[in-house]
Amino acid sequence: MKEDEKKIYLVTGGSRGIGKAICEKLAGEESIVIINYRDNDEMAADTLKRVENHGGHGELFKCDVSDYYAVKNMINEIIKKYKKIDGLVNNAGILLMRYFMFTSKEDWNNVMNTNLNGVFNCVKCVLPEMIRREKGRIINISSVATRKVIEGSVAYTVSKYAINGFTKSLAKEVMKYNITINGISSGFIDTDMIKGCEGYGINTEKKGKAEDIAEWVKFLLSDNCRFISGDIISVDGGSSL
Ligand SMILES: NC(=O)c1ccc[n+]([C@@H]2O[C@H](COP(=O)([O-])OP(=O)(O)OC[C@H]3O[C@@H](n4cnc5c(N)ncnc54)[C@H](OP(=O)(O)O)[C@@H]3O)[C@@H](O)[C@H]2O)c1
C-alpha cells in the first residue's frame, strides 16, 4: 500500500490501558498510528513496539492534551508530515475519586483541563483539516459514570457528561462535511485507572478488557461506519442497567 493511502490515526493517552489497546487494534499495514501520551516514556515505547509487531507503523508524540499550544504544535506537525488525520481518538483522561466536599478548585480544574479541555484542544486543532477534506472520524471515550451514578466522582462525572454533550452538539454541526463524531460510554475496564476504586462502593467485579473498547473504536473509525454520528454507545457489559 502506498504511504499516502494509509489511514492516519491519532490516539491520545496511548501509553497505557484502553489507549494502548486502541493503538494495537488500529495497527496494521494500512495505517499509521500516532501514539500520544503525557509522562510515561517506557509504556509509550511498549505501545509503539506492539504496533510494529502487528506489522504496522507508529510514532510517539509526547504532549499534555490540556495544553492548547502543545496540542496545536502536535497536530500541525502530524499534518505537515502526513497531510491529513483520518481519525482522532480522544482517550486521554484522569479519574478523581473524591467526595465533592473534599474536592478543591484545583482538583476540579485538573479534571476539567484533561478530560474536557483536552478534547476541546484536540478537536479544535484537527477539525479545520477534516473540514477541508470533507472527511473525518472523531471518537470520544466517555464513561459509565454518565449512565449510572458513581458516588464520590462529581468532577469526573461532570467532565464526561460534558463530553457527551460536546459529541452530540458538534456532530450536528459537522455532518454536512461527512465528519462523524461519536462517544463510547465505557464500563469498568481493568486498567491502572480503577485500581483502588473498590473503596467507593463501586462494583468492579463486572470488568471488561481494554480490547472490548478498542474493538468498537475500530468499527466507529471505519469507512463502513459512515451512518452513525452523535451517538454515545454503551460498551459496559450491561453494568449501567
Ligand atoms: N478504566 C476504566 O474503567 C474506564 C471506565 C470508563 C471510562 N474510562 C475512560 O477511558 C479513558 C482511558 O482510561 P484508562 O483506564 O485507560 O486510563 P489509564 O490506564 O490511567 O491511562 C490513561 C492514559 O491517559 C494518558 N494521559 C493522562 N492525562 C493526559 C494528558 N493530560 N495528556 C496526554 N495524555 C494523558 C496517560 O499517559 P501517561 O501514561 O503518560 O500518564 C495514559 O496513557 C479515559 O478517558 C477514562 O476516563 C475508563
Residue nearest to atom 23 of ligand 1 (CA): 13
Total number of domains in the chain: 1
pLDDT at 125 over 70: yes
Q: Is residue 3 a part of any domain in this protein?
A: no
Q: Is residue 1 a part of any domain in this protein?
A: no
Catalytic residue among 156, 161, 177, 200: 156
How far is the centre of ligand 1, averaged over its atoms, from the C-alpha of 232 (Å)?
18
The ligand 1 site (C-beta within 6 Å) comprises: 12-19, 36-40, 43, 64-66, 91-95, 114, 118, 141, 143-144, 186, 188-189, 191-194
Q: Is residue 2 a part of any domain in this protein?
A: no
How far is the centre of ligand 1, averaged over its atoms, from the C-alpha of 4 (Å)?
30
Which of 36-50, 76-90, 196-210 comes out lowest in average pLDDT? 196-210
Pair 74, 61: CB distance under 8 Å: yes
Pair 207, 121: CB distance under 8 Å: no
Residue nearest to atom 30 of ligand 1 (CA): 64
In angstroms, the CA 128 to CA 140 distance is: 18
Please report, as a single letter, which amino acid is at residue 103: T
pLDDT at 157 over 80: yes
How far is the centre of ligand 1, averaged over its atoms, from the C-alpha of 12 (Å)?
9
CB-neighbour burial class of residue 226 (10 A; exposed 0-12, middle 13-18, buried 19+): exposed
pLDDT at 203 over 70: no
Q: What is the CATH number of the domain that holds 69?
A: 3.40.50.720
Q: Is residue 127 a part of any domain in this protein?
A: yes
- As a whole number, the mean pLDDT across the chain is 96
pLDDT at 1: 82
Q: Is residue 22 a part of any domain in this protein?
A: yes
Residue nearest to atom 43 of ligand 1 (CA): 13
Band the pLDDT of 197: cuts 50, 70, 90. Answer: confident
Q: Name the residue range of residue 169's domain.
A: 8-235
Residue nearest to atom 36 of ligand 1 (CA): 13
User: For residues 157 and 204, which has the higher predicted lDDT (pLDDT)?
Assistant: 157
Edge-first strand listing for the sheet containing 87-90: 57-62, 31-37, 7-11, 87-90, 136-143, 179-186, 232-235
Q: Is residue 20 a part of any domain in this protein?
A: yes
> pLDDT tens-digit profile of 160-185?
999 999 999 999 999 999 999 999 99
Angle at Cα 79 formed by Cα 78 and Cα 80, nearest 5°?
90
User: β-strands 136-143, 31-37: how paired?
Assistant: unpaired
Ramachandran angles phi, psi of 20, nearest 5°: -60, -45
> What's the full length of the chain, in residues?
241
H-only helix segments in 27-62: 41-53
The percentage of the chain sitting over the pLDDT mark of 90, rounded to a whole number, equals 92
Q: Is residue 240 a part of any domain in this protein?
A: no
Query: Given the CA of residue 204, which atom of ligand 1 is nearest to it?
Result: 3
Residue 193 grid coordinates: 485507572
Q: Is 156 a catalytic residue?
A: yes
Q: What is the DSSP letter of 227?
A: T
pLDDT at 97: 95
Query: Given the CA of residue 192, which atom of ligand 1 is nearest to it?
Result: 19
Sign of CA dihedral 76, 17, 229, 232: negative
- Render 87-126 in DSSP notation, one character per residue: EEEE---------GGG--HHHHHHHIIIIIHHHHHHHHHH
> pLDDT tens-digit profile of 13-65?
999 999 999 999 999 999 999 999 999 999 999 999 999 999 999 999 999 99
Please report, as a single letter, which amino acid is at residue 188: F
pLDDT at 202: 66
pLDDT at 4 over 90: no
